[in-house]
Amino acid sequence: MRLIFMGTPEAAVPTLRRCLEDGHEVVAVWTQPDRPAGRGNKLTQPPVKEYALKHNLLVHQPAKIRNEETLDLFASHEADAAVVVAYGRILPPTFLRATLRGCINVHFSLLPQYRGAAPVNWAIVRGERETGVTTMLMDEGLDTGAILLQRETAIEKAETAPELMARLSTLGAEILSETVARLEEIEPLEQSEEKATFAPILKREDGLINWAFDAEQIERRVRGFQPWPNAFTKHNSQRLVIWRATVASDEAGGDIEGEIVKAHGDDFFVSCGGKSLLRLHEVQLEGKRRMSVRDFLNGERTQAGERLG
């Protein structure tokens, strides 16, 4: 099948790879423009572009897609379908009608749950025990198109968003492969609006820890808000990112939310809402490297009774 591939981050690469392995003709790869990244703001290629160029694929990176010139370029590929995986832009209706069989999206949730930009992050933060991948025929709404295939997977107890995304990206490649192979026989299923939930784009302030939440809620934010915006608080007026934490279920916290209960050796315990207790394992102080709490406590004058936030 003649395919246009549209995607940008590392999570989209396995599906592009699978399209090639399955013998499809990827006539063009569309991805976001190169962006400044890192401390030096060096112009960096999206992972999908890097992979595409290594395999001698035609790459387009339009800064804007809502114009006649870009639509003409898209239509000129004369593709059977477009495969869309975390492209990063909402496609205008003209794009959805420009290929013979439309645009097939790989979405990292079990639609209609977690429509939106950050389904993997919010599924962890909200305490879901399972998630999955959906392929759908795109329409003009936000992840509202008819469902083609779905695959479920459990969310592991200590799994972070990047770890879960890596698993889902592999699963997404598999389900896309099956979807394209069976496209003629699959009966699209309309989504239930009544069951829809949403996963809005992440904002920096989402990561700010509210110590009035219980320890379990905060622990999920530690895992779910990686790699950005991270779960963070304030320590002596400096930003402190919490990279790894567990709920101290066998001990109780104090009455003051955010109070450090213990800070010695490998032990760093903080009181949370409902007198629950969070144990920190790995942190990163503003301007410093990520480190164990032992290294952090060895370098900082932190004592029980102090308050984070």
* Other beta carbons less than 10 A from residue 307's beta carbon: 15
**Which of 141, 173, 195 marks a domain boundary?**
195
| Secondary structure letter of residue 259 according to DSSP | B
Q: Kindly state whether residue 264 falls inside one of the protein's structural domains.
A: yes
Hunting for tokens 């006539």 — which residue is that? 27
Do both 49 and 174 map to the same domain?
A: yes
Reported as a single tens digit per residue, the pLDDT across 1-50 is: 999 999 999 999 999 999 999 999 999 999 999 999 877 788 999 999 99
* Other beta carbons less than 10 A from residue 73's beta carbon: 15
Q: Kindly state whether residue 288 falls inside one of the protein's structural domains.
A: yes
Which residues is 35 bridged to in the sheet?
Answer: 44
Fill in the amino acid letter for 47.
P
Reported as a single tens digit per residue, the pLDDT across 241-253 is: 999 999 998 888 8
What range defines the domain where residue 253 resides? Answer: 204-299
pLDDT at 40: 78
Q: Which residues contact 32 (CB under 8 A, 6 or more apart)?
A: 8, 46, 61, 87, 88, 89
Reported as a single tens digit per residue, the pLDDT across 57-80 is: 999 999 999 999 999 999 999 999
Do both 7 and 125 map to the same domain?
A: yes
Rounded average pLDDT over 181-209: 97
**CATH number of the domain enclosing 274:** 3.10.25.10
Residue 197, both tokens: 């939930």
Do both 145 and 52 map to the same domain?
A: yes
Reported as a single tens digit per residue, the pLDDT across 248-270 is: 988 888 899 999 999 999 999 99
Q: How do strand 260-264 and strand 267-271 relate by DSSP bridges? A: antiparallel
Report the alpha-carbon distance of residue 128 to residue 253 in Å, rounded: 25
Of 218, 203, 302, 303, the residue nearest 257 (C-alpha) = 218
Ramachandran region of residue 78, left (φ > 0), alpha (ψ -120 to 50) or beta? Answer: left
Q: Kindly state whether residue 86 falls inside one of the protein's structural domains.
A: yes
- What's the chain's Rg over C-alpha atoms? 22
Number of structural domains (the chain) is 2
Do both 149 and 223 map to the same domain?
A: no
Rounded average pLDDT over 132-136: 98
pLDDT at 37: 83
pLDDT at 101: 96
Do both 42 and 146 map to the same domain?
A: yes
Percentage of residues of the chain with pLDDT beyond 70: 100
Do both 234 and 262 map to the same domain?
A: yes
What SS3 state is found at 247? Answer: strand
pLDDT at 42: 87
Report the alpha-carbon distance of residue 4 to residue 25 in Å, rounded: 9
Do both 55 and 112 map to the same domain?
A: yes
Fill in the amino acid letter for 266.
D
Distances (CA, A) of 266 to 175, 258, 263: 43, 18, 8
Rounded average pLDDT over 208-236: 97
Is-above-0.85 flag for pTM?
yes
